Amino acid sequence: MKVESVRGMRDVLPAEVGLWQRLEREIRSCFERYAYGEIRPPVVELAELFSRGVGGDTDLVHKEMYVFPDRKGLPLALRPEATASVVRAFVEHGLHARGDLAKLYYLGPMFRYEKPQKGRQRQFHQYGVEALGSLDPALDAEVIDLAAQLMVALGLERQGLTLRLNAIGCAADRPPYKAALATYLGEHAEQLCADCQRRAVENPMRVLDCKQPRCRAVSKDAPHSAQHLCGACARHFGEVKTYLDALDLAYKEDYTLVRGLDYYTRTVFELCSDELGAQDALLGGGRYDDLVSVLGGPPTPAVGFAGGMERLVLLLQGLAGEDETRLLDAVLVPVGDDPAVRSAAVDALHRLRVAGRTADMEYMARSLRKAMQVAARRARWVIILGPDELERGEVTVRHLASAQEAAVPLARLTEPGVWPGSV
Ligand code: HAM
């Protein structure tokens, strides 16, 4: 019986992997230019980390998290996001004790039990950064700038991108704002979807997240969090915008942007692309100044963002000219089945690889002509080794692009510059 992959969890096949690897290289290099260092937290965490960190009544934890007991009954979770894990690691390893800013990045799989659709999987991959230890609004601007620069590095800056920005205030701003919002939503309860009628009472800010047109219509005129900021939060937001202007980064203030996770404070943002359809958020993030203390660390302000790799892949696949097939340096074709020839070929192949060349051998017993055709699609050079060549202690090296050919002594095969057409 055929066993299939789990719904919403897909293979990245070899034809696509080149693009993924290029993305991963660009992302790492961009993050490192902004002085972020990599952290690799585990994929499995205690479920409690997310119920406390992200919020027990967020959809993410309540409806979408994969939770399972281990063999002793301990409730574990496949991580649905990485911010809580990074903060846990930051507290657990005393990274705060160094008294400096901790700038960390990650890349890896996350798991959410959502309805799979274009740009939304149950196993997906996030790249993200977290900067822990400073309240400086220039740091908010830095992470937004980093996100924007990454899109430039990937050649996506013209893919209908919009930076949505909002400020949702600190813990002290929240109760009066929620009260004002709940009052407004109460007055329009009959226009809301059934879920939002409940949310309006239990967690009114979640109504602003709802995608239903009727709820959006109500949200449009709802009180804005940015109008309910204390003096310090209002100043912070003003400075973030000043820095974004200084960086020439265009943004759209969107008062309905509240983000689906409970840990956010002050700045929140999303970068969306109108080329992505319903799941249009390329990345999202913001400040979470209380999360470190909620997870048992000393009060530590922090800001970060994460984006989905699959959505970048969708955009890049839509761009013409994206060809990631990478050629090997050489394919070695032994001629005939003389054991001495085959041993010499195995040895030559090994020496090529040890010398740092990417190389493979014809293993499928194809005719020389067929083997040459296949090799021409895979490599820049073909190396032919038959009984005559072996007797002379040579191989024939053919540069496919220029059709130049040369006899090269076997002993000198790995020397630079001896292959025809080499640069
Ligand atoms: P998030 O908005 O839940 O934020 O996810 C960030 C990004 O991950 C989304 O914008 C989207 O590109 C991608 N994503 C989310 N769910 C899926 C899915 N099911 N399939 C494919 N892609 C998906 C966070 O996770 C926060 N931890 C971000 C953050 C970091 N905030 C501060 N620091």
- Give the Cβ contact number of residue 393 at 10 Å: 12
For residue 329, what are the contacts with CB-CB under 8 A and spacing of at least 6?
Answer: 352, 357, 358, 359, 379, 380, 381
Q: What is the pLDDT of residue 114?
A: 96
Q: What is the pLDDT of residue 323?
A: 56
249 Cα distance to chain centroid = 22
Q: What is the pLDDT of residue 325?
A: 62
* Ligand 1 centroid to residue 358 C-alpha, Å: 36
Q: What is the pLDDT of residue 379?
A: 96
Q: What is the pLDDT of residue 157?
A: 81
* Ligand 1 centroid to residue 308 C-alpha, Å: 6
pTM score of the predicted model? 0.91
Q: What is the pLDDT of residue 85?
A: 98
Task: Spell out the per-residue pLDDT of the chain, length 423, in tens.
Answer: 999 999 999 999 998 999 999 999 999 999 999 999 999 999 999 999 999 999 887 889 989 999 999 999 999 999 999 999 999 999 999 998 777 999 999 999 999 999 999 999 999 999 999 999 999 999 999 999 999 999 999 999 877 899 999 999 999 999 999 999 999 999 999 999 998 998 898 889 889 988 889 999 999 899 999 889 999 999 999 999 999 999 999 999 999 898 889 899 999 999 999 888 888 899 999 999 999 999 999 999 999 999 999 999 999 987 765 455 679 999 999 999 999 999 999 999 999 999 999 999 999 999 999 999 999 999 999 999 999 999 999 999 999 999 999 999 999 999 988 999 965
Q: Is 353 helix (H, G, I), strand (E, B) or coil?
A: helix
Structure tokens at 61: 């934890």
* Ligand 1 centroid to residue 274 C-alpha, Å: 17
Among 54, 126, 288, 291, name the best residue to mutate to test ligand 1's pocket (greatest count of ligand atoms within 8 A of Cβ): 126
- Give the Cβ contact number of residue 260 at 10 Å: 15
With both helix axes pointing from N to C terminus, report the angle between 14-33 and 137-153 in degrees, rounded to the nearest 10.
140
Residue 302 gets the label, from left (phi > 0), alpha (psi -120 to 50) or beta, of beta
Q: What is the pLDDT of residue 320?
A: 61
Cα–Cα distance measured from residue 15 to residue 192, given in angstroms and rounded to the nearest whole number: 46
Pocket lining for ligand 1, CB < 6 angstroms: 81, 83, 112, 114, 119-121, 124, 126, 128, 130, 281-286, 288, 304-308, 310-311
Cα–Cα distance measured from residue 138 to residue 401, given in angstroms and rounded to the nearest whole number: 51
Report the side by side order of strands in the sheet with 75-78: 44-46, 75-78, 67-69
Residue 158 one-letter amino acid: R
* Ligand 1 centroid to residue 128 C-alpha, Å: 9
Cα–Cα distance measured from residue 397 to residue 408, given in angstroms and rounded to the nearest whole number: 7
Cα distance between the two ends of the chain: 52
Q: What is the pLDDT of residue 159?
A: 78
Cα–Cα distance measured from residue 134 to residue 344, given in angstroms and rounded to the nearest whole number: 62
- Which class for 34: exposed (0-12), middle (13-18), buried (19 or more C-beta within 10 A)? middle
Cα–Cα distance measured from residue 57 to residue 65, given in angstroms and rounded to the nearest whole number: 12
For residue 367, what are the contacts with CB-CB under 8 A and spacing of at least 6?
Answer: none
CA dihedral 120, 272, 225, 82 (to 10 degrees): 50
